[in-house]
Structure formats: C-alpha cells, structure tokens
Structure 1
C-alpha cells in the first residue's frame, strides 16, 4: 500500500504547479534536442552498418521519390533546427559555466537570441 501511495502522489511539487517560462521551455527543448540528435546519429550509424547497399544507392532512392521542393525544404529545416538550436544553446550553457549571464534580463535576452539565431541559421541552411 505504501508503494502505491508513493507512486500516485508526487513527493515534491509537480511541474504543473509552476508558471511556464522561456528558460524552462528552453531547458526542456535543449534536453529533447540532445536526446533526439543522439538517437538519430545512432540510428544512422546502425543503418550504415547493417543495410546491404552503399550510401549512393539510398541517396538515389530518396531522389527517385520526387517528394517536391516544399517537403524537401521542410525536411532540411527539421534537421537543421535541432542541430543549430542545440549548438547555440550549448554555447549559452558554456557561458553560464564560466559564470556569465545569470541575471534574469540576461537569461531572457540570451534565450531569445538563441531562438532567433536558430531560426535564421535553419532557414539559411534550408536554402543551401
């Protein structure tokens, strides 16, 4: 019975009682992009090891699908955004590690800067 009580009732305040903020969302997104990128890289590596054909074969297979420029652009943006966001936010975290940028206005300013740079960089990479 005690186990069920501990599982059903949180021992500390749950995330739902907090007001969502930009730094909170950016922290969650940073962790999510890290996990997603690690999973994607691992899946690509495993696929490269176990699939019978070589890389040009699969690249030609993708080209033969004729999915259209909009979907290709969307896919490029979908790959570029997590990479650029995680990189820029990682640099922001490195600045925090050396003790810079902890004041609340700086946290928000650097957060919005990371979001803006990520979007601009992702759009630029999409058009390459």
Structure 2
C-alpha cells in the first residue's frame, strides 16, 4: 500500500518523462513506418492515387501544417534526445544540473526543428 501511494504522489522528473517519451517515440515511429509499408503492399491502387485523394479534400493550410508538425515532432524529439544519449555514452553531462539543462535544450531544439520541418 505504501509503495503504490508513493508512486501516485511523487512527481515525475523531467529526465524520467523524457526517457519514457524517447522510447515511446521510437516505438511509434517504428510502428508507423511498418504500417505504412504494409499498407503499400495491401491497399489497392498506387501511392499517387492516395495523394490525389488527400489533395481533393481541400484541407486548409492550418490543418496541413498541424499534421506535418505532428509527424515531424516525434522524429525531431527522438533524434535530438538520441544525440543527448550519445553524449552520455561519451561520459558527458551526467551531473544533475547538466541533465536538466540538456533536457530543456532537447525540448527547445525539438520544437524549433519541428516548426522548420513542417514549414517545408
């Protein structure tokens, strides 16, 4: 009982949330690429036909940009956090203040690069 109370009452730290998110984005991207590839094998027609279908919906630029941002965000986060992990593999940034600083840097770079990729 005490353990479950402790788990429910304690706040999640930034490094813990980022670690879970790193794993989650990796699984989500792997699953997304696998499903996309499988759909290319199973669905009738050609990829260009599906692109034409999306174009015919006449979606607004805000919705299109939001969708592109939603696709770019996991890729950007996983990439920047992976670079952070590579720095840790080299023995850099293990002190707690550095862990939090690099975490914030990863989040800022993720948002900026996702905005840039979505604008393409």
Could you state the TM-score of these two structures normalised by the residue count of structure 1? 0.86
Matching residue within 58, 76, 83 for 1:66 = 58
Moved over 6 A (4+): 9-14
Q: Which runs of 5+ in 2 are unaligned?
A: none
User: CA shift at 1:15, angstroms?
Assistant: 3.8
Counterpart-to-counterpart distance in 1, 2:35 and 2:8:
33
Higher helix share: 2
In structure 2, the CA distance between the partners of 1:20 and 1:10, relative to structure 1 (3 Å rule), is: same
Counterpart-to-counterpart distance in 2, 1:14 and 1:105:
24
Q: Which runs of 5+ in 1 are unaligned?
A: 1-8
Q: Which has the larger radius of gyration?
A: 1
In structure 2, the CA distance between the partners of 1:42 and 1:10, relative to structure 1 (3 Å rule), is: farther
Q: Show the 5 A alignment for 1:1-128.
A: 15-128=7-120
Counterpart-to-counterpart distance in 2, 1:117 and 1:101:
17
Counterpart-to-counterpart distance in 2, 1:87 and 1:22:
17
